[in-house]
A = this chain, B = another copy of it.
Amino acid sequence: MAYVQKEVFKIRTDIEIAQNTELEPIEEIAKKMNITSNQLEYYGKYKAKINLKNKDLNKKVGKLILVTSINPTPAGEGKTTISVGLGDSLQHIGKKTAIALREPSLGPVFGMKGGAAGGGYAQVVPMEDLNLHFTGDMHAIGAANNLAAAMLDNHIQQGNQLNIDPRRITWKRAVDMNDRQLRNITSGLGGPTNGVPREDGFEITVASEIMAVLCLAESLVDLKERLSRCILGYTYEDEPITVGDIKAEGAMTVLLKDALKPNLVQTLEGTPTFIHGGPFANIAHGCNSVLATKTALSHADYVVTEGGFGADLGAEKFFDIKCRTSNLEPDAVVVVATIRALKMHGGLAKDDLHHEDLAALRSGFANLKKHVENMGKVFGMNTVVAINSFSADTPAENNLLSKLCEAEGFRVVLADIWSQGSAGGEEMARAVVEVCEEPSTLTYPYALEESIEAKITKVVQKIYGGVGVDWSPAATRSLHQLERLGFSDLPICMAKTQYSLSDNPTLLGQPKGFTVSVQDLTISAGAGFIVILTGDVLKMPGLPKKPAAENIDIDQNGKITGLF
């Protein structure tokens, strides 16, 4: 291990690095995976959708590597930076590699500054396109979502043959914008020709169930069947009304036919990168699309992907939802941590992170330990711990962390791809290649046939390390409703704070003896999971007092400023 990353050397910003890199034409990137240019649908020179026959996708040739992390802290973990850097490093040591990541959302870019995918010398490009309309997937999802909403209200307006109760509509309209003004509205005002007055609201597009559906669908037919099952609301008799009931699934699938095709871009080092699908990691499963992952696996020997948030949410849902649904099974898991973040888990405040603090590191290690143990004991996976190096990390801290890992039998590597690119990730890449050769069998914390209560309890106990579950009266009512409607056999999707293994964001490290409070349950019947709400989830962000949009500009030559 070498201690190489020095922040003092960071003269170039992410955007400067990205703008100073010459991109390869996208057909050259595709060629690295033996994807021919007639399988590409170009969106300019550096973006393409892949148009493959389904039969091509089930020839898995590659090893799948899941990148996950400790519970996030304000110190930053750099999970995506490691994912991108691992892909580049695998390519660097001669492996035919592809990366499969989530697609960012447009709206939030105008609130806070737009985000790179990755950072430093481990980024996905072209950055501006990724942060703006990209290939139009989000807009297509919004249109499909809003077509269902318009057809539902039109059905009520035109006589309401299905007896839909306007007070029980659960489907929201969507817009890809941070717009708090639309969280709660009354719609259908203005008299009999202008709809039926009711309480209504908007979500940001990525929160739409359609995003989760798109990410789990494996074909146009599967997409249409899943859309058809999406529940829009309930009748006066409390029976569900689905997309299929209002005959919207065909038109919605037509709107999504291109959005379903994976998008191909590249890293700064020219590693093929699929950026496709980006569901919320709380009310949804938080992974890129199954189709992108399978396309990558059928065309590369090593495929790097990641889950949302920390391993308690992101990896758990990756396994219990994405892998179960699609018969995917990783060959290795990389758990990302930083010394900075572990010191916060050990009780240090953000302002004190630049001081060496071995005690805090030792204490915070408990968080990393629990996640790595979960990967092995619960899911049966072989793991590499990747320490994402920062310049303020001291040799003593690095030594201590290595020793703590080794004492637990964890494989640990230091990675400095942020400042060095793939050259700083060779050791990580070689460790991952080694682990991929070791046998493993994916196991699950719960069986689908178990009761909803048992599933939640097992996740809380096995994954989070809690003692049990408290049920609110609303949650109990919803539980009985979902059992009555026959949804008991679906996997669960926990909506919990990402900051703690518990449902209390202030309990860092490895909290013990806690219970998790279930506030309510909702059903995503098209995506195929039950959402377990352990607190309020905001599905429509707002803009800050000074939105980033105020500083975004473009000159006469098309050069954009203020986006990053």
A2 to B405, CA, bound (A): 90
Which B residues are in CB contact (< 8 Å) with A132?
254-255
The answer to whether A181 touches B177, judged by C-beta atoms less than 8 angstroms apart, is no
Chain B: which residue is nearest A183 at the CB level?
B194
The answer to whether B133 touches A140, judged by C-beta atoms less than 8 angstroms apart, is yes
Which B residues are in CB contact (< 8 Å) with A563?
254
Which B residues are in CB contact (< 8 Å) with A45?
41-42
Q: Determine whether A467 belongs to the interface, using a CB cutoff of 8 Å to chain B.
A: no
A258 to B44, CA, bound (A): 11
Stretch among A70-78, A184-192, A411-419, A486-494 lining the B interface? A184-192
Chain B: which residue is nearest A146 at the CB level?
B177
A175 to B477, CA, bound (A): 36
Which B residues are in CB contact (< 8 Å) with A327?
none
Within 8 A of B (CB), among A513-564: 542-543, 545, 547, 549-556, 558, 560, 562-563
The answer to whether B133 touches A150, judged by C-beta atoms less than 8 angstroms apart, is no
Within 8 A of B (CB), among A258-286: 258
The answer to whether A190 touches B200, judged by C-beta atoms less than 8 angstroms apart, is no
The size of the chain A interface, using a CB distance under 8 A, is 75
Which B residues are in CB contact (< 8 Å) with A510?
none
Which B residues are in CB contact (< 8 Å) with A178?
150
The answer to whether B153 touches A181, judged by C-beta atoms less than 8 angstroms apart, is yes
Q: Determine whether A182 belongs to the interface, using a CB cutoff of 8 Å to chain B.
A: yes
Stretch among A79-87, A216-224, A315-323 lining the B interface? A216-224
The answer to whether B175 touches A547, judged by C-beta atoms less than 8 angstroms apart, is no
A231 to B92, CA, bound (A): 54
Chain B: which residue is nearest A176 at the CB level?
B143
Contact of A250 among B181, B183, B185, B553 (CB under 8 A): B553
The answer to whether B187 touches A181, judged by C-beta atoms less than 8 angstroms apart, is yes
The answer to whether A562 touches B150, judged by C-beta atoms less than 8 angstroms apart, is no
Which B residues are in CB contact (< 8 Å) with A136?
133, 136, 139
Which B residues are in CB contact (< 8 Å) with A180?
153-154, 157, 188, 193-195
Evaluate whether A187 and B182 lie within 8 angstroms (CB atoms) in the complex, with A41-B44, A250-B552 already known.
yes
Q: Determine whether A147 belongs to the interface, using a CB cutoff of 8 Å to chain B.
A: yes
The answer to whether B562 touches A250, judged by C-beta atoms less than 8 angstroms apart, is yes
Q: Determine whether A1 belongs to the interface, using a CB cutoff of 8 Å to chain B.
A: no
A273 to B248, CA, bound (A): 33
Q: Please give the distance in Å from A176's CB to the nearest CB on chain B.
A: 7
Contact of A195 among B149, B181, B224 (CB under 8 A): B181
A365 to B224, CA, bound (A): 52
Which B residues are in CB contact (< 8 Å) with A177?
143, 146-147, 150
Evaluate whether A189 and B185 lie within 8 angstroms (CB atoms) in the complex, with A143-B106, A180-B154 already known.
yes
Q: Determine whether A43 belongs to the interface, using a CB cutoff of 8 Å to chain B.
A: yes
The answer to whether B184 touches A189, judged by C-beta atoms less than 8 angstroms apart, is yes
Which B residues are in CB contact (< 8 Å) with A185?
185-189, 200
A469 to B489, CA, bound (A): 70
Q: Please give the distance in Å from A564's CB to the nearest CB on chain B.
A: 12
Residue of A110, A175, A255, A554 with most chain B CB atoms under a 10 A cut-off: A554
Given contacts A173-B175, A180-B188, 6 further A-B contacts (CB under 8 A): A42-B42, A42-B45, A132-B254, A181-B196, A186-B186, A250-B551
A selection of 19 A-B contacts at a CB cut-off of 8 Å is A146-B175, A150-B177, A150-B181, A153-B180, A154-B547, A173-B175, A175-B175, A180-B188, A180-B195, A183-B194, A184-B188, A184-B190, A184-B194, A185-B187, A248-B549, A248-B550, A254-B553, A254-B560, A257-B560
Closest 8 CB pairs of A and B: A250-B553, A184-B190, A139-B139, A251-B549, A181-B195, A153-B181, A42-B42, A251-B552
